[in-house]
Amino acid sequence: MGKFKEIISAPTPTLVDFFATWCGPCKTMSPVLDELKKVYGDKLRIIKIDVDKNPAIADQFKIRGVPTLMLFKESKMLWRESGAFPLSTLKQKIGEYL
């Protein structure tokens, strides 16, 4: 948990993808997040958290459905939404924070 707190407290915005290996919509988000990283480069850090392997973090943020995406900067949650999104929608949702 310490490493996670360290990552989300950074000044670089961090998009956290809470996912599960058995989740179909989570799998569709993987290439979208890869494309998002190409678009924003160093302006955005993206990390993936497997809710089955990290139940304490999932519980802390009350993750009830996957995928759930959360955007943090300097430990503040700026945005949170559950579901799979196309790249254009995701860019629109988080672009204002970057």
Residues annotated as catalytic (active site), given as ranges: 23, 26
Q: Helix (H, G, I), strand (E, B), or coil: what is residue 53?
A: coil
Q: What is the DSSP string of 69-87?
A: EEEEETTEEEEEEES---H
